[in-house]
Structure 1
Amino acid sequence: MRDLLNLEIVTKTFDDLSHGVGIFHVEDLNDIKSIRYVFMNKIILYEMRKEREEVFGKRIIEVAPEAYEHEGGLQVIETYRKVAAEGGNVNLGLVEYSNHMVAGKYECSVHHIQDNYVYVMLRNVTELEQTKIELEQKNEELSELTYIASHDLKEPVRNISSLIKLLTDENQDKLDEQSITTLSFISESAARMTRLINDLLDYSCIGGGGKELVTVDCKKLVAVIQQDIETILNDTNTTIELGELPKVKGFETELRLLFQNLISNSIKFRKPGVPPKITISAKEKNGWTFTIQDNGIGIPNEQKEKIFSIFQRLHSNSEYEGTGIGLAHCKKIVEMHKGKIWVDSKEGEGSTFYFTIPNL
């Protein structure tokens, strides 16, 4: 009675799982047509569109002969035989199954129980895969739309700038002080609009398709950035101290933009009359945690989360130029690498930015 009760409990437990679970008996380890269904929970029976009495105790060749008729089905059945004979577990990833009533994509793994017996875990991801495809298509459409919109916006702004320059150059002797101030204001506004359009375009392109993970030497990457911004480093008397930086798997262009944005941010928000000092280091712990520390003006505590949102600015253009997208770029790049970014700062005492790059 106790064994019967336990069997009922186990059966009900497996039946009510959200994933499909099936048990198979491989009678002859050299014959894939000898494999029998021992148990299928409700999920798998539903996916097969079968009742228990149509499946339990019967061979796969009797119940689902279509499984032997295509490469994907044969791969799954051969895996049952192999695991039953050799033990271990095999994750098959995505497999396709179809019969005259159903067709779909499934995540599938096969696990050894004991000699000649295996169990399979199954999850229907057909809708998830379709949603993923649709999302990728929407992202491509959005990127294309952003590019076209940015290009179309640039042209009128460029025309405004050209007209203002032409008007100023041809009428320098005729313009009064108020007119010169007004035209200068319009020109500066057009320049800011151009920067904003370019930043929006850059932001939309981060994480675009077709990119591959490569090994990136972060120390060499930062050295190249230092060469590129040598003029501003000299003009501001900025010093950069580098600790040991690792090689990581990542997207090189995006990682370069990440480091460059954070370094530029530290230089921009420096204290008046105080040369910027930036320290860059990294520590390994379940991946890499990078630290970029500066001696700048710092960030008010209530603004620490806000700064990573797009268009969020803590200062006016008269104080510090910018579009409020730089740190949003950084957040998007770090999340693209499955990492996190945050800041520790006290107003007037500098900032320390941290970001993680997991082992990808």
Structure 2
Amino acid sequence: MGQNDQDEFPQQPGHYRVTDLRMLAAALGFPSNSLESCLPPESLHKGTINSKELHRLLDLGYFTPALHFTFNMKSGLYNVKLILKCLDVLDRSALSFAGIQEAKVAFTAYEHLDQKGVKAETSMLLKAIKMCGFAVSPQKLSMYMRQKRQRFVEPGRVQLYEFLDLLAICEPRNTFSFLEERVPSTDKTGSGLYQMDDMRRFMLTPDEKLARHLNRRFQHIDSWMLPQETMATSQPLSFRKYQQTEHLNGSRPQPPQSRIESSDVRAIDEPWTLLTPVPQLRCHCHTPKRDKTILTEQDIQKTQSNIEELLYQMETLGERTRWDLNWKLDYYLPGYREHSATRYIPADPQPPKTLKKEVL
């Protein structure tokens, strides 16, 4: 966007200059003066406006008519919710003006043609997150999407303000680097294969290596913690420090040390539960299982109704065909029905009598 490093965020958190509003409008794809023109003159104090007053004006509808299907294919309420979310991430220093612009470009690249948002698929969202310069564990993203699926405005779609919330659990990609290690020629893997012949690690793409690393760290570290994640956190969960606190009656239980030492990232001081896996005993005895009913009562009634309908169609086929034929003949030959009704209808022929040969 051409701004300096000190202009990435507002100079005073919670206070926005006219320049900051112009930068926010440009980051969202609006004209630079679109937000400034909606402000009443008395709301600006020495050329700045605080976040609380800006939220109040947005809620009162000062921006809704000016942004309603004017600069993009979105309604005024959609754009107001987007601006509110941008103010939220700027106040928390979670994203800068440049980060909001990159998120807007990535979201637009993967948004569906019907303009109802990006499909809530893990693979597509990972590509959009990569365009923003962030990375996240695919397993963590899938868990997050399952938790938020019922709250989506459009079923199966992610909106831009929801996508900005999604970036809060991601980490910058430039913090990860993978170095190729030398493989000894005489060492073997757990499956008995020489490491120099094990080409599976070398056939992985950088994205697959990063996804495997993040999944492994999520399983070994983040899975021991069960915090109630909210979007008020300005940093990813894995970047927050874990503060060990000792109580008077004892110390807080810790997860196994081998799990924590597998990564340089520590956990956060939040409530968590220690889970101990218990192996299940297998019994070779036969346990009868109750089979589930294949057909329900409704299916049986529906089938019986179909059978009765089919029998009725079969029994009345001749009569319906005869009636349709008479109707067509009467249409093309007027008076055919009356003439056919007066015709002589012979009686049913008697079945032929069987002649028995007389025995002499």
Coarse TM-score class (shorter-chain normalised): under 0.3
Q: TM-score, normalised by structure 1?
A: 0.24
Q: TM-score, normalised by structure 2?
A: 0.24
More strand, by proportion: 1
